[in-house]
Amino acid sequence: MADAVPASPFARVETQGVDFPALERAILKFWDEHGIFDKRKALNAGKPKWSFLDGPITANNPMGVHHAWGRTYKDAYNRYFAMTGRDLRYQQGFDCQGLWVEVEVEKELGLKSKRDIENLVPGDPEASVDRFVQACKDRVDKYARVQTDQSVRLGYWMNWDRGDADWAERPDDRKSYLTMSERNNYTIWAFLQKCHRKGLVYRGYDVMPWCGRCGVGLSEMEMKEGYKYVEHKAAFVRLPLKDRPGENLLVWTTTPWTLTSNVGAAVNPELTYLKVRVKGEVYYVANGAFKLNRMEGGGDEEDAAAAGGKKKTREWLPGVPHLSSIEQHFKVRAGKGETYEVVGEVKGADLLGLAYAGPFDALPAQNHEYGFPEDVAKVTRQSGKWPAVTAAAAHTVIDGGKDVTETEGTGIVHTAPGCGAIDYGWGRANGLPPVAPIDDAGVFVEGFGPFVGMNAADPATAEVVFEELKTADRLFATERYVHRYPHCWRCKTELLYRLVDEWFINMGPRNTEDGFRGDIMKVVDRVTFLPESLNGRARERDWLWNMGDWMISKKRYWGLALPIWVDEKDPTDFEVIGSREELRERAVEGWAEFDGHTPHRPWVDKVKIRNPRTGNLMSRIPDVGNPWLDAGIVAYSTMPADWRPADFITESFPGQFRNWFYALLAMTTMMSDGREEPFRNLLGFATVLDQYGKPMHKADGNSIEFIAAADKGGTIPDATGKPLQYGPIGADVMRWLYCRQNPANNLNFGPTPADEARAKFILKLWNCYGFFCNYAALDGFDPGTPQVPVAERADIDRWLLSDLQLLITTARGAFERYDVMAFCLAAEEFVDAKLSNWYVRRNRDRFWSKNADLDAAGRKDKLAAYQTLHTVLLDLCRLCAPVVPFLTEVMWKNLASGGRQPPESRFPESVHLTDYPAADESLVDADLSADMAAVQRIISLGGAARNAAKVNVRRPLAEVRVRTGSDADRRAVDRFPDLIRDELNVKRVTRLDPPAADLLRATVKLNKKVAGGKFGPRLKEVEQVVAGLDARQYDTNLLRDLFPHPLDGMSIDLGDVTFEYKALEGWAGVVDGNTQVAVDTRVTPELKAEGLARDVVRFVQNARKDAGLDVADRIELFLGTDDAELRAAINTHWGTIAAETQAVRRLDQQPADAFTAAVTVDGRPLTIALRKV
RNA sequence: GCGCGUAUAGCUCAGUUGGCUAGAGCGCAGCUCUGAUAAAGCUGAGGUCCUUGGUUCGAAUCCAAGUACGCGCACCA
C-alpha cells in the first residue's frame, strides 16, 4: 500500500503542542517578504471606496490588551471590505498632544510643578518651555513607534511607518497621521476661526479646582483620583439683614477663606425657615436643619458607596468630636440656664431679595464695581450679564433652588461666585459680581486687607478669618468638620476652587435644539449608532442636550496653540487666526523667529499682530487647546473630500459620547455647515476587565500589556490574589475573543477566557485541518484531480457543502451589519457541531484506505470526501481570515499548496489576496439540512434512551424504533439508516409513522399557547376536562381530529394539545416534540459476544498506543483468557478484531519479546501481547 | 440630586409578540467514547427569574412602586 502512495503536496500538521505565537511571527515575516499587503492594495486600487476613520490612539505608553479590542475590530472590518473588493485608505492615527503626555514627561524629568517646567533651563522660561515641548514630541515619537510595532504584531494592516527613514520624516509626511502635525493644528485654527466668525468663541470665567503648589488647574478626571477624608474647621456666621434690625441670616461654610469673597446668600424658596431668637438676636435657619442629627445620613452617595453601600452614618475621622446639632449650638449660645426661642417661621421665597451686610464689606475687593480684581471686572462688564454694582452693594438673598438643602449646613448657603462653580452660576443668574481672592499660587492678592499674602490652604488663614469675624461679632460658632475633599493627585495638597479665565465655544442654549448644539443634533440623527442595544443616538443626544459650552483652553504647554490673539490693552478685544498664511500676513513682530517651527509653544507665542481697531499689538494667549479638538478635527484634516464621510468608525464607548464622538460630530458640523456627517456607522464597544470581572489597574497588577498577551506571557493575581503565571495567548486567540464578544458588554480578558476561545474554536479548526492534511499526505490526495460532481457525492458531503453556503450568507450579512459577533458564533457552531463533531467524525473511514475499494469500484467516494473537506477548509480560511488572519494564512498556505499541480496559478499565495466567499445557491439543499438535523436529533435521543437504560454504546443492541414527528424525521430514517445504526450501535432501525402501535405510552397535556387564545377565561375548565380523560382513548380520538367533550360548541383539536410518552417493558425511550425514539434493551448472547469483541478491540488499541506504535504499523497479536465466553467471542469476531487493530497474524503462544498488557474485560481477565511486524 | 440602563444557576450570559417542566457555555459530580483532537458526548446536582403590588385565564416577559448595582450629568456650601 505504502509504495502506491504518490508524493503528497500537503505538509504534515502537528496537532500537539503547536506554538501558535511562533507561527504568527513567521506569517508576519512571510507577509513582509512577499509584500502581501501591497499586493492586496494593488488588487483593490481604484475600486469603490470603503472609508474607515481611525480614532487616534494616545501615543504615550505601550499598548495594553484593551487597545487590542478596538484595533481588532478595525482590522477585521478593513480586511473584510478589502476581500469584498473595496479600496481602502489604511491610515492609522496617533493622539499626541495633551496633559497626559506632559505628566509622563514630568515624571521622566523629575519635575513637580509648572514652575519646575519653566525653570528647566534655569532663569529662561522660554527656553525651558521649548525644551519641555521637545521632550513631549520625543516621547510621542518613541511610543508611536512602539505602538506601531505592537499593532503590526496584532496583524493590524495599515500603512505603517516602519523604518528609521519613515520616522525621520516630519509628522506631516508620515503614513500614519499624528495630531501634532501642522496640518492637524492649522485645520483646527480654521475651525476655530469659523466658530469665531459665527460669534461663538468667547472668553469666560470658570471656577475650577486648582493646585496652588503646582499652579495648575485640574480636570474632572484628575480630580476624581484625589479625594480624601480630611478635617476642616467650619464656621457658622451671621449676616445681619439691612432692613430688619436684630434679624440675621445664619450661614455655614467649611472654607472660611471664601467668606472674604462673599457676595450672596442662597435659600431654597420651597423650604420653611425658622426665626430663632437667642440673646436678643433673631436668626433664620431652615426648619429641617435645625434639629437634624448631623451625624446621620447627610453624607453624599460616594461616601456611602465607599463604606460598603449600606452605611447611613457619616464617615468620620478618629479623634474628631461628632457634630452637634444646630439646635445644640443655639443652646450653647444661650448660655447656662438660658435657651433659645422659636418666634416664627417663613417660606424661603419670602426671604428672596433681602439685603444683608456681608462679613468683610470693608475690604477694597468688596467695593469694586463688576467684581474683583480688575481683569475679572473687565470681563464681567464686557459680558453684559452683570449690573454695575460692587460686591458689598450686591449682598442679597438669592434663589438657590433645589441645590440648597436642609441636610447640610443651615439651609442658607454662603455664596462666593469667585470661589465655587455653583456660586459662580448663581452669581451670573442673580447679578452678583465675582470676587476672586487668590492668585495662581493660592495666595491672597492685593485688595484683601489683612489677608494679603496669606495662603488660602493654610489652616492659619482660617484662624485669622475667625479672629476678624469675632472682632466684628459676626462669628456664631465654629466646629471641626470631616468631609471628602479633593487633593492634587501629584503633590497631595488640598485643591482650592479658583476663578480662572478660559476660552469657550458657545454651544447654544442648554436643553434646547437651538444654536450649534441643535445643528449637531441634526447630524446625529443622520448617522447610525451600533450596537443598537446601547441606544447610542439617545446617549449622544442626551449629552448634546445637557452639555455646557465647550471649554477649549488649558493653561499648559504641550498642545494646540489656540490661535487667539488679544489686544495688549483690552483683554476683551481678540481675534482668531485661521491659518499659517493668515498669521504670516498679519504678523508685525516675531515671524522670523517662528518661521520654520511647528505651531507650538514657545515659538508661536513670539508672533504679534496689530489690532486694526486700536493699533495696539495683539499677543497670543498662552493657553493650549483641549485635546479633543485635536482628535475631533481628523475627519477633516486626514480624509480627502472624496473619502468623506467615513463609512465606519469604532471605539470603546465609555466617555466617547462626550469626547471623540462629540468632537467629531461638532467639528464636522461646523466645517461643513451641517451638510456632512463625520461618519455613517459608529460601532461602540465596552470595556476590557480582568478575567474575574474587575477593572484592570496597573497598581493592582491585573492589567495585561499587549506584548505579554501576544508573545511573552506574564503574571496576574488569581481569584485569591496569589500570583498566576500564564503563557503567551497569541494574536489570533485574542482577536477571536474580541470578535466573538457582544460589544455592548464588558469583556473579561485573561488566560482562562483565552484557553476557552482556543479550545472552543482555534484548536477544533486546527485539528480538522490537521486531520485533512495528514491523511491527504499519507494517502496521496491530489487536489488537482478533476472534481467529482457535487450531485454524485454522498449525502453527507452535500449536506456539509449546503450548510457551508448558509454560513457564508451569515458571514456576509454579519460583516455588512458590523456584527462580527454573529459571524463568530455561527462559525464556532459550524466548526464544532458540523465539521468536527459530525462530518470529520462520521467520515474518518472514508479518508483511510478502508474504502479504497469503493473508489476502485468507480464510486469515487474517497475522492469526493477529500474534495469536500478540502473545499470546506479553504472556504473556512477565507471566511475567518478577517478575524484570525494568521491561523487562516498558515492553513491556507498548506491547503492551497495543493496547487503545486497545477502550479500556483490555481490559488493566490495568501488567503488575504482572495475574494471573500460568496454563497453558491445551487449547493443549498434545505431538505438535506433539515434531514441531517433530524437524524442528529434522533441519534441524540437514542443516546439519551441508552443512557436512561444504562446500556453503554459499546454494547450492541437489536433495534431502535423511531416514531417520526415530521417529514424530515421520516426522510432522515430512510436516508441515513446506516448512520443511525452505527452511531447507536444497533442492528436494526425501524421507522414508525403515526398512527402507530403503542411504542411509548401517551399522556396528553393542553398546549396553552394555542389553547389559551381559543378558550380564554375557560382555559382552566378545559384543562380539567383534558386531565380527567383516559390517555389511550384520548390519543386515538385525537388522532381522528375529534374530541368527545363538546364544550358549548367549542371543540378541542389536535393542535390544542401535546403528548408525553413513556417506554414499555424491555425498551427505553425518550421523546422530543413529536419525535419518539426507543431502543430494545434486551441483550442476546450474540449481541453480548459482539460487545465483548468491541471491548477487546479497544483494549488492543490502547495497548498499541502504549507500545508506541504508529497508526500504520501492522502487528502480530496474542489474546489469552481463561474465560470461555470471552474466548468464544474473540474466536467469533476475530476477523473484525484483526481488521480494526491491523493484526496480520494471530499468535497461539504469548511471545517473549512482545509488548504485553493484562486487562479486565467486563470482569473477565485478558492478556494482550503484540509485536510489530 | 436628576436622567438612562441592568437585575435569570457558583461564574459569564440567552430567553422573540406574555404560553408547555426557564435555557446555553464555563465550573462541579458521575458515566461514556476516542489512533485527527489540548478534545468530545451523555446524565446529574444547582433557580425566591431582586422585592412588593397591579393587569391577565396565564407574567422571567407588560405596568407601578421600592431595593441594589452600573453609566451619564449636576454638585459636595
SS3 for A72-93 is HHHHHHHHHHHHCCCECCCCCE
Hits for CB < 7 Å against strand B across A residues 305-324: 305, 309-310
Q: What is the DSSP letter of A719?
A: T
Between CA A169 and C1' B66 the distance (Å) reads 63
Confidence of residue A1012 (pLDDT cuts 50, 70, 90): low
What is the mean pLDDT of the segment spanning A1122-1146? 84
The answer to whether A832 CB sits below 7 Å from nucleic acid chain B is: yes
The answer to whether A421 CB sits below 7 Å from nucleic acid chain B is: yes
**In sequence order, which ranges of A910-976 are alpha helices (DSSP H)?**
926-949, 967-975
Give me the half-sphere count of Cα atoms (radius 13 Å) on the Cβ side of residue A699.
Answer: 0
pLDDT value at residue A1028: 60
CA distance A1105 to A1099: 10
pLDDT value at residue A559: 93
Q: Quick one: which residue's CA is nearest to B32's C1'?
A: A952
pLDDT value at residue A96: 94
DSSP letters for A838-892: IIIHHHGGGGSGGGHHHHHTT--HHHHHHHHHHHHHHHHHHHHTTTSHHHHHHHH
Quick check: helix, strand or coil at residue A1135? Answer: helix
Confidence of residue A262 (pLDDT cuts 50, 70, 90): very high
Confidence of residue A904 (pLDDT cuts 50, 70, 90): very low
Quick check: helix, strand or coil at residue A411? Answer: coil
What is the mean pLDDT of the segment spanning A240-267? 93
What is the mean pLDDT of the segment spanning A587-592? 95
What is the mean pLDDT of the segment spanning A456-467? 91
Cell triple for residue A129? 518651555
Closest nucleotide to A298, Cα to C1': B76
pLDDT value at residue A350: 92
Give me the half-sphere count of Cα atoms (radius 13 Å) on the Cβ side of residue A575.
Answer: 20
Quick check: helix, strand or coil at residue A753? Answer: helix
pLDDT per residue as tens digits for the range A722-752? 788 888 999 999 999 899 888 888 888 888 8
pLDDT per residue as tens digits for the range A554-567? 888 999 999 999 99
pLDDT value at residue A996: 55
Which of A574-588, A965-979, A991-1005 shows the highest mean pLDDT?
A: A574-588
Report whether A991 contacts A1043 (CB < 8 A).
Answer: no
Closest nucleotide to A764, Cα to C1': B37
Residue whose C-alpha is closest to residue A872's, from A973, A968, A976, A793: A793
CA distance A784 to A787: 8
Quick check: helix, strand or coil at residue A743? Answer: coil
pLDDT at position A1058 over 70: no
pLDDT at position A265 over 80: yes
Hits for CB < 7 Å against strand B across A residues 833-872: 836-837, 840-841, 844
| The domain made up of A2-14+750-924 is a member of CATH 3.20.20.70 | no
pLDDT per residue as tens digits for the range A271-309? 899 999 998 899 999 988 888 777 764 443 333 333 333
pLDDT per residue as tens digits for the range A137-158? 999 999 999 999 999 999 999 9
pLDDT value at residue A108: 92
The answer to whether A598 CB sits below 7 Å from nucleic acid chain B is: no
pLDDT value at residue A563: 97
pLDDT value at residue A995: 60
pLDDT at position A513 over 60: yes
**In sequence order, which ranges of A216-286 are alpha helices (DSSP H)?**
220-224
pLDDT per residue as tens digits for the range A760-800? 888 889 988 988 988 888 777 888 888 899 998 988 899 89
What is the mean pLDDT of the segment spanning A828-850? 79
Closest nucleotide to A1170, Cα to C1': B35
The residue assigned the cell 498632544 is: A97
Tell me which of A442 and A1073 has the higher pLDDT. Answer: A442
Cell triple for residue A563? 490661535
pLDDT per residue as tens digits for the range A857-869? 566 788 888 899 9
CATH superfamily of A216-499: Valyl/Leucyl/Isoleucyl-tRNA synthetase, editing domain (3.90.740.10)
ipTM greater than cut 0.90 = no
pLDDT at position A916 over 70: yes
Which segments of A1113-1163 are extended strands (E)?
1115-1120, 1143-1147, 1155-1161
pLDDT value at residue A17: 78
Tell me which of A983 and A350 has the higher pLDDT. Answer: A350
Between CA A1054 and C1' B53 the distance (Å) reads 39
pLDDT value at residue A588: 96
Percent of chain A with pLDDT over 90: 41
The answer to whether A252 CB sits below 7 Å from nucleic acid chain B is: yes
Between CA A1081 and C1' B20 the distance (Å) reads 30
Confidence of residue A1006 (pLDDT cuts 50, 70, 90): low
Cis peptide before A373 (omega within 30 of 0): yes
Confidence of residue A1071 (pLDDT cuts 50, 70, 90): low
pLDDT per residue as tens digits for the range A786-836? 889 999 898 889 989 988 998 898 899 889 988 888 888 888 888 887 888
Between CA A535 and C1' B5 the distance (Å) reads 10
pLDDT value at residue A394: 93
Closest nucleotide to A309, Cα to C1': B68
Tell me which of A192 and A763 has the higher pLDDT. Answer: A192
Confidence of residue A901 (pLDDT cuts 50, 70, 90): very low
Quick check: helix, strand or coil at residue A997? Answer: coil
What is the mean pLDDT of the segment spanning A864-888? 93
H helices then E strands: how many in chain A? 43, 40
Residue whose C-alpha is closest to residue A1075's, from A984, A971, A929, A925: A971
CA distance A1064 to A998: 9
Closest nucleotide to A847, Cα to C1': B36
Give me the half-sphere count of Cα atoms (radius 13 Å) on the Cβ side of residue A316.
Answer: 16
The domain spans of chain A are 2-14+750-924, 216-499, 1000-1063, 1085-1172
Confidence of residue A490 (pLDDT cuts 50, 70, 90): low
Element (H, E) at A482: strand A475-486
Report whether A275 contacts A246 (CB < 8 A).
Answer: no
pLDDT value at residue A43: 95
Report whether A713 contacts A727 (CB < 8 A).
Answer: yes
Hits for CB < 7 Å against strand B across A residues 668-687: none
A599 class by beta-carbon count within 10 Å (0-12 exposed, 13-18 middle, 19+ buried): buried
The answer to whether A1058 CB sits below 7 Å from nucleic acid chain B is: yes
Q: How far is CA A1097 from CA A340, A1115, A1152, A1168, in A?
A: 102, 13, 22, 11
Q: Chain-wide mean pLDDT for chain A?
A: 84
Q: Which of A26-30, A661-665, A1021-1025 has the lowest mean pLDDT?
A: A1021-1025
**Residues A343-365: b if buried by 16+ CB within 10 A, e if exposed:** eeeeebeebeebebbbbbbebeb
DSSP letters for A353-403: T-BB--TTTTSGGGGSTTSBSHHHHHHHHHHT-S-S--HHHH-EEEE-GGG
pLDDT at position A240 over 50: yes
Between CA A12 and C1' B54 the distance (Å) reads 68
Report whether A663 contacts A523 (CB < 8 A).
Answer: no
pLDDT value at residue A109: 93
Confidence of residue A994 (pLDDT cuts 50, 70, 90): low
Tell me which of A49 and A724 has the higher pLDDT. Answer: A49
Closest nucleotide to A658, Cα to C1': B72
pLDDT per residue as tens digits for the range A82-132? 999 999 999 999 999 988 898 889 889 998 778 889 999 999 999 999 999
pLDDT at position A877 over 80: yes
Confidence of residue A882 (pLDDT cuts 50, 70, 90): very high
pLDDT value at residue A774: 84
